[in-house]
Each structure stands twice: as C-alpha cells, then as structure tokens.
A and B are shown apart, each in its own frame.
Chain A
Amino acid sequence: MATQEIALPKVKEPDVSIIERLHGLVMTVDHKKLGLMYIGTALIFLVVAGLMAVAIRLQLVIPTNTLLEPDVFNRFFTMHGTSMVFLVGMPIIAGFGNYLVPLMIGARDMAFPRLNAFGYWMFLFGGLLLYFSYLGAPGLAGHGSAPDVGWFAYAPLTERAFSRGHSTDYWILSLLLTSVGSTVSAINVIVTAITLRCPGMKLMRMPLLVWLMLVTNFMTVLALPALSAAQIMLLIDRYLGGHFFDTQAGGSAVIWQHFFWIFGHPEVYILMIPAFACLSEVVPVFSRKPIFGYPVMVGATAMIGLISVSVWAHHMFSVGMTSVGNTFFAISTFMVAVPTGIKIFNWLGTMYGGRIRFDLPMLFCIAFLFQFLVAGLTGVMLAVAPLNWQLTDSYFVVAHFHYTLVGGFLFGIFAGFYYWYPKAVGRMLDRRLGLWHFWLFVIGFHVTFDTMHFSGILGMPRRIFTYDAGRGWDTLNLVTTLGAFCQAVSILLLAINIVRSAGKGKLAGNDPWDAWTLEWTTSSPPPEYNFATIPVVRCRRPLWDLKHPEDPDWKYE
C-alpha cells in the first residue's frame, strides 16, 4: 500500500524548567516550533494592533471627539496598519508555511533549518524595533515618538522637512529587518517544496496548500525588494543628502508611490493566497470530496500571481496618470477577477454534491466565501477608475480592504487554525467557545465593516482623527465602533480557548477530521523528526487510498 499509519510509542518527556524551555525556543531550528513561534508572536501583535484599532474607533465614536490628540491618532493608524501587514499577516503565513509544508510533503524539516530560525528572529526584532520607536524616536523637542506617516508612508511627508525626529527611520529600519526575515523564510519554503518532497510526490500531487504556498512565496521574493529599495532610497534622502523623493530639490513624489505599490499590491495577494490555501484543504475534507479541478486551481493561482504584478497603479488612479495609463490599470485589475472567480467556483464545485459537515473550520470557510465574494465585488467597483476617483482614500476603501484582509484573510487563517490546532497541540479546541468566537466575530465584522462602505459613499475620507457633526457620518461611525468592540470580545474568547484547550481539550489523536493528507498520518503533535519512515505516495490524497482501497484516487489521476 502507499502509506502506512505510524503508531509511535509514547515517550515520557523529561521534566524541564521554564528557563530550559525558553532556552530551547531560542536555540531551536525545528520547523514546527518555529512555525508555532511565528503564529504565536503574530497573534500577540494582532492583539496589540487590534487594541489600537479599538482606540481609533473610540476616538471616532462621536463627532469632534477629543479623546486622542491628532498626532496620537495618526501614530495609532500608522502602527495599526504597519503591524497588521508586516507583524501579523506576513509572520502568520510564514508560520503556516513552516509548520505545514514539510509535514504535507513528507519531509523531516525545512531545507534550511538554521536560516529558518534566523528569519524568525529577524521578524521578531524588527517588530520590537518598530514598537521601541515609542520610547526611542523623539528627536527634536516635540517631534518623534512612533511613526505617523501612514502605512504606505507617501513621500514627501517622510522627508526630513516634514518628518522630523526619528520616527520615520524606525519605520524604515524595522521593516527592512522584517523584510529580510520574510525573504529568507520565503526562499526556504520554495526550496523545501521543490526539493524535499517524499518519493512519489510529483509537483501535481502536492497538496494544494503547498502549491499555493509556493506561489505566494515566489511573489514575496519578487515583490519585497521593491519596498526595500524604496526604503533604502528614502534613508539616503534623509541622511546622505539624496533627492529621490525630495520634491523641494526636484525629486518625485509619484515614484515613491510606484515603488510602494509594486510591492504593495502583490502583497495583498501574498496574504490572500495562504488563506486560499487553508480553504483548499479544509473545504474538501469537510465536504467529503476531493478539490474540484485541482489543475485549474493551480493554474488560477499562478495566474493571480502573474497578473497581480501588473495592477499596482490601481492604487494611484487619482494621482494624475494619463487616461491611457488609467485604462491600462483598470483593465489589468478586471483581469484578476477572472482567476479569482474560478477559485470561488471551484470551492463551490467541491461542496456541491458533498456531505458538508459544519465543524468550526468549515464555518469559517463558509463565512470566508460570502465575505470574500463581497470583497471581490467591491474590488471590481474600485477597478472602475471613475468610481475609484470618488471612492479611493475614503472609508469605502477602508471597508473594502478590511473585507479582504479580515473577512477573507483572517477568516481563512482561522479556518486553518481550528483545523490544524489539534495536530500542533494534540488536543481539540473547545467547540462551544469556538462557536461563540465565530458568531461574535461574524457579527462584529459585519457591523463594523458593512457600515464603513456607507461612510465612504457619504464622502468620509480615511485617516481623519475627527469630523464635524451633520455630514451624515455620526450614526454610521457609532455603529462601526460598536462592531469593533464585538470583535474585540470574540478575539478574547479565542485567546481563552487557545490557552484552555491546550491543557484541558479533548485528545485529538492522529486524524481527528478523517482527513487525507500526510500530516494526519503522524502523531499529534508530531515528533521532532515528523515521520519515523519517510512516506511514499501514489496520489494527491494518500490517506483516502489507505481508507478506501476499493476506490483509490490513483486510479483516476
């Protein structure tokens, strides 16, 4: 037979002190520990940046509120955005990639274990450096503290003439560090997926998650250098007398925007594709059917990756490009909708004719599908350049990308989290608490972000620390703030669930979901070497063949 279930004898762990455990974390090169460290750290940053969002919402709850001073507010939204993208999104995908890719391709570790550890520590210290700016950045009296230039830091607001003190330097340097971490982690995943697959696992037999991780990490390697290059140029402007973006000396403000979005737009897909990856594993298992159109899913992902590097200037429709330029970027943006649509249809096709089990991972997937559908459609609206002239930089855009990154990315990641938590910890997450988390999060999400679309349609620009009464924004903002609290409570429940279930949860066993990929053949949590013997596969779903020798996959592929 293709693979064999491996029953490992229980090994009694020696008693170790907390110091030794921490020391172990610092020294480890194990992909599973590093993966969990990535995810754990990202969740902590999620809470910190989430609390900033709550503070932002409190300031906006009523018109002309004076809770936060303008600069404090500006720092909060800058730190919120920067953290969520670079200290939550990127490390979460690195964590999932690290933890799952070797297990799913039947490998014992990543290709470069020590580089892997290096990547994690770069990310962690980059993140700490960003937050250290609150203490370390004040330069001239009254200037500084944390960065306040927005997460895309448009020039020339970042030049020394307009950003005194060192806050912008902290923004640049900390992101350069995390970018180093993300890049080495991306290279590692690519090399691992290409070289360490177990015998029999051809490229077209890789689980879809591995395929999608491969694409997303290729995009990381391709896109991040644009940001790093721009940041280094900005440093040269600030300290070595350069004039790249220094408009007062003939530099170009628009060039910064091009550089940033050449990175920034692929970045959105870099985050989304791992969420797609989670869906592509969870939806089949809980529909009890193989993924519909596997090769098409692979192709559509590659297409998204390709097209997404040619759409960046749709963030810049109002910057004054020619009508030809605007038309080009509108067209390329519409094109992305096609492969994205194909993916949604394929998940739908997977569910159609199945027997859908509504366990927690699947619930998050279902919410994802509805929300991502809306996010995609508002994306199409924003691709219509004339409508974009009205909606860009308004709350409609804020609503749109939170629909994508919370309603899409985060829901997909939560689906994956509930799905693989038993594998990583050995115990199930509590279903009752999980349901509370799910429903409160869904309600909070919609209350917050649905209303934001309408603030935007009514002309509310983003990044304003206050607004006057009487412009039709009062009630909408009040409702938005209520939703934010609802989300905060649900995240608290998730945190409680994670901690409680780790100690008291129901034992998971090797294969709690009756799933089909290799990670479920080994114990939960897997031993350090993952597999006692390297598995051999003959199809995409080795465990299906094992469980259904009468109707095996390999006959059809």
Chain B
Amino acid sequence: MVFVFSLFWTICFLHGEPALGKTDSVTNIFGPLSQPAQEIKETSLLVLAVCAVIFVVVGGLLLYTLVRFRHRAGDEASEPPQVYGSNQIELAWTVLPILIVLVLILVTSRTIADIQNRKPPSGSVHATVVGHQWWWEIRYPELGIVTANELHVPASTGSNRQPTFLKLQSADVAHSFWVPQLAGKTDLIPNRENTMWIEPTNPGTYLGNCAEYCGTQHARMLIRVIVQSPDEFERWVRDQQQAISITTSAAEGRRSFFANSCVNCHSIRGTSAQGKFGPDLTHLMSRETLASGVVPNTTENLRLWVRDPQKIKLGCLMPNMQMSDREVDQILAYLQTLK
C-alpha cells in the first residue's frame, strides 16, 4: 500500500520538475534532462501504469476475497463447498497475462533498438571514458584532451544537435557509468569496449556514481558531467588544448614534483611526467573537485590530499609520500600553476 502511494508521489511530483535535479543535485531518473533518459522515462511510465493497474485489480480481488470469505462465528459446524478448479478460469488467467506481456515485449523491443542502435550524426562529440580504481580517466581522442572525473559535453540545441558518444573501457576491474538524468548505466569492462550516448539540452552539472561494485572506494567514485553551451564548450576545449606555461614562480615545487615519485603515476603534458596510473594533471586547477568528486578543489583540500590522500579517501591507491610540510607547500604551489 505504502508502495503504491509513494510511487504516485514520486512520479507526480518529481517528474514534473526537471529543474530540481539542477539546483540541488537530486538525480531522479524520472527527472531526465537528456536523451536517452527521456525516452526511458516515457517507456517506464507506460510500464508503471500497466503494473499499477495489475496491482489494483489483483490486490483488490485479494482484499475482497479476504473480507467476503472470512471465517465467521458459527462456521465451525460445516465446511464450504469443495471446488477443485476450472479449466475455463485457468485458461482466462493464462491468456490475459500473455496478452499484457505481448504489449510489454513490443514496447521494450522498440525502445531497446531505438537507444542501442543509434548511429552518431555528424558533429557528434566523441569521448573515451576509462574506469580506474577509483576514478575516471576521460579522453577526447579527436581533440587531443586528457582529463579526469569531470566529463565536459556541449548542450545539444534544436538547430545544432551535438550528442556525445562515449567509448567505455576499464583499466582494472568492472565499473559502471551512471548519470541518472542523462542515460541509463553502461558497464566499463576490462578487455572490452562498450558504447553509450547522451544528448543533454540544458547546461548544468549532472552528478552520477560508479554503479558496479569495484572495491574499497566504490562508494566514492563519483562522476560529474558538465554540460556547457556550445560556445563555452569550445572555450573549454581551447583551454584544455593549451600546453602548460612554464613559470618560474614555483620552481622549487616543480623540482620537488619531478624528483619525487609523483611522475611515476601522473602525466603533465609537455613534461617528462608521463605516468599512467593516476589522473592526468595538465590542467588540474580547471577541475571542480578532487579525488573523483570527493572534495571541492580548494587550496586547503589540495594540501590535505598531497600530504596524505588516505585521510580523504581511505584505501585509495595514492600513498602517503611522507613529505615534510615545506615540500608539501612547494608541490602545492607548483600544482596550482597547472591551470
């Protein structure tokens, strides 16, 4: 009972307010702001309606039977008429569900084919997402950009349709890419390439999680998709494509960074740092968050992270490098030049 009432509540109130997701980061699957999440919602509403009708009818029959045929005082003496079954009735309640199922099969097949067999139109953005324990590597092979944890995509407008097609891979174990308001989830499986696509229309930040259990910090492998107007996206692409400018301001930190083992895991484009285990740091300061969405990218958090990542994300694969406060400050200063 509770179930049905609440179901109505969710559908009636939440799906009517798509803006909700943007303002306070509620990722309701019934508040989609992109294809194919929109199409999934429409199919779902039909399925929900069918299920609700079945629930009301069968539940109602059950309730009626319980009340109408309850044991009453004085019934002890005799037993009710013994009925063993009826072929006609059995046939009826076999055929009826088959017909309902047939409708559901048709609707489902059409939606599956529609979403899965979509071909990228010209002008689509292509990106590759690689799952790592416990962060996301994001590459734009055609644009020459490598970044992490925050997927930037252009908003698709009526005149200028720009869906984003994703290739999904994994560097270690299985992960799953799920941003509920944009699309259903697709797994990132090692040794295999999956694909999915999104076509958001409203600029904003969309939250999501890794949805396949992938080890210790599965809970904090968060993804954010930043949808920008086409112009803003162009600007972001240009910024990301720029090589880093070598400044003299943080020379000590720079030396420290390259002298320590940071470079074994991290890359900075145009330098000798070419590690592949950790996120690319070329434009670190352009990101909103650290540690795959765990904390905002502020000076204080970055300092904490450089000193001891385990304090922020226990079990993550970046070790505490046991650096002195001075070294931490120097490296921090250097990282902050990576704009």
The interface of chain A, by Cβ under 8 A from chain B, is: 69-71, 74, 148-150, 154-157, 161-162, 247-248, 250-254, 287-290, 292-296, 318-320, 322-323, 326-327, 330-331, 334-335, 337-338, 341-342, 344-346, 348-349, 351-358, 366, 369-370, 373-374, 377-378, 380-381, 383-394, 446, 450-451, 453-454, 457-459, 461-467, 470-472, 548, 551, 553, 556-557
Contact B61 A348 (CB under 8 A): yes
Q: Looking across the interface, which residue of chain A has its beta carbon closest to that of B173?
A: A157
Q: Looking across the interface, which residue of chain B has its beta carbon closest to that of A385?
A: B112
In Å, the complex CA distance between A241 and B107 comes to 47
Q: B156 in the interface, Cβ–Cβ < 8 Å?
A: no
User: Which chain A residues lie closer than 8 Å to B314 at the CB level?
Assistant: 69-70
Query: Among the listed B54, B85, B184, which residue makes an inter-chain contact with A388, where contact means beta carbons less than 8 Å apart?
Result: B184
How far in angstroms is the closest Cβ of chain B from A57? 15
A342 in contact with B94 given A349-B85, A466-B219 (CB within 8 Å): yes
User: Which chain A residues lie closer than 8 Å to B333 at the CB level?
Assistant: none
Contact B192 A392 (CB under 8 A): no
User: Which chain A residues lie closer than 8 Å to B22 at the CB level?
Assistant: none
**7 cross-chain pairs, A with B, having the tightest CB-CB distances, nearest first:** A389-B184, A459-B27, A464-B219, A320-B194, A293-B85, A247-B190, A472-B26
In Å, the complex CA distance between A472 and B117 comes to 33
Residue interface bits B174-213, CB-to-A below 8 A is 1, else 0: 1010101001111101111011000000000001111111
Give the interface segment out of B98-106, B246-254, B265-273, B323-331. Answer: B98-106
Contact A251 B48 (CB under 8 A): no
Query: Among the listed B58, B101, B111, which residue makes an inter-chain contact with A344, where contact means beta carbons less than 8 Å apart?
Result: B58
| Given A318-B212, A557-B84; 15 other pairs, CB 8 A cutoff | A69-B314, A154-B173, A250-B191, A253-B173, A253-B190, A254-B189, A294-B85, A337-B97, A348-B65, A357-B71, A369-B62, A458-B28, A462-B213, A466-B219, A471-B27
In Å, the complex CA distance between A292 and B213 comes to 44
How far in angstroms is the closest Cβ of chain A from B210? 7
User: Which chain A residues lie closer than 8 Å to B185 at the CB level?
Assistant: 318, 389-390, 392-393
In Å, the complex CA distance between A380 and B167 comes to 30
Contact A390 B71 (CB under 8 A): no
How far in angstroms is the closest Cβ of chain A from B201? 18
Query: Among the listed B36, B50, B58, B209, which residue makes an inter-chain contact with A386, where contact means beta carbons less than 8 Å apart?
Result: B36
User: Which chain B residues lie closer than 8 Å to A254 at the CB level?
Assistant: 189, 192
Chain B at the A interface: SS class:
mixed
Q: Looking across the interface, which residue of chain B has its beta carbon closest to that of A466?
A: B219
In Å, the complex CA distance between A250 and B192 comes to 10
User: Which chain B residues lie closer than 8 Å to A293 at the CB level?
Assistant: 84-86, 89-90
Contact A287 B69 (CB under 8 A): yes
The interface of chain B, by Cβ under 8 A from chain A, is: 2-3, 6-7, 10, 24-30, 36-37, 39-40, 43-44, 47-48, 50-51, 54-55, 58-59, 61-62, 65-66, 69-72, 75, 79-86, 89-90, 93-94, 97-98, 101, 104-105, 107-109, 111-113, 115-117, 133, 168, 172-174, 176, 178, 180, 183-187, 189-192, 194-195, 207-220, 314-315
Contact A454 B10 (CB under 8 A): yes
A373 in contact with B6 given A254-B189, A287-B69 (CB within 8 Å): no
User: Which chain B residues lie closer than 8 Å to A387 at the CB level?
Assistant: 40, 43-44, 47, 184
User: Which chain A residues lie closer than 8 Å to B172 at the CB level?
Assistant: 156, 161-162
Contact B62 A370 (CB under 8 A): yes
User: Which chain B residues lie closer than 8 Å to A334 at the CB level?
Assistant: 101, 104-105, 108
A156 in contact with B47 given A349-B85, A380-B104, A464-B219 (CB within 8 Å): no
Contact B29 A457 (CB under 8 A): yes
A330 in contact with B112 given A156-B173, A461-B178 (CB within 8 Å): yes
Query: Among the listed A252, A342, A370, A446, which residue makes an inter-chain contact with B93, where contact means beta carbons less than 8 Å apart?
Result: A342
How far in angstroms is the closest Cβ of chain B from A400? 11
Contact A292 B108 (CB under 8 A): no
In Å, the complex CA distance between A332 and B112 comes to 15
Contact A318 B184 (CB under 8 A): yes
30 CB-based A-B contacts, threshold 8 Å: A70-B216, A154-B174, A157-B215, A247-B191, A253-B173, A296-B90, A318-B185, A318-B211, A320-B189, A320-B195, A330-B109, A344-B58, A345-B93, A349-B89, A351-B62, A356-B69, A381-B47, A384-B111, A385-B112, A386-B40, A390-B44, A390-B180, A392-B211, A393-B213, A453-B6, A454-B6, A458-B28, A462-B213, A556-B82, A557-B84
User: Which chain A residues lie closer than 8 Å to B97 at the CB level?
Assistant: 337-338, 341-342
In Å, the complex CA distance between A392 and B185 comes to 8
In Å, the complex CA distance between A109 and B65 comes to 39
Contact A251 B209 (CB under 8 A): no
Contact A457 B10 (CB under 8 A): yes
Q: Looking across the interface, which residue of chain A has its beta carbon closest to that of B20?
A: A472
A472 in contact with B28 given A157-B173, A319-B187 (CB within 8 Å): yes
Contact B219 A70 (CB under 8 A): yes
User: Which chain A residues lie closer than 8 Å to B86 at the CB level?
Assistant: 292-293, 349
User: Which chain B residues lie closer than 8 Å to A346 at the CB level?
Assistant: 85, 90
Query: Among the listed B27, B39, B189, B218, which residue makes an inter-chain contact with A458, where contact means beta carbons less than 8 Å apart?
Result: B27
User: Which chain A residues lie closer than 8 Å to B217 at the CB level?
Assistant: 70
Q: Looking across the interface, which residue of chain B has its beta carbon closest to that of A287?
A: B69
How far in angstroms is the closest Cβ of chain A from B52? 8
User: Which chain A residues lie closer than 8 Å to B214 at the CB level?
Assistant: 157
Contact A390 B184 (CB under 8 A): yes
Q: Looking across the interface, which residue of chain B has its beta carbon closest to that of A253?
A: B189
Query: Which of A70, A319, A386, A553 has most B Cβ within 10 Å?
Result: A386
User: Which chain B residues lie closer than 8 Å to A377 at the CB level?
Assistant: 51, 54-55
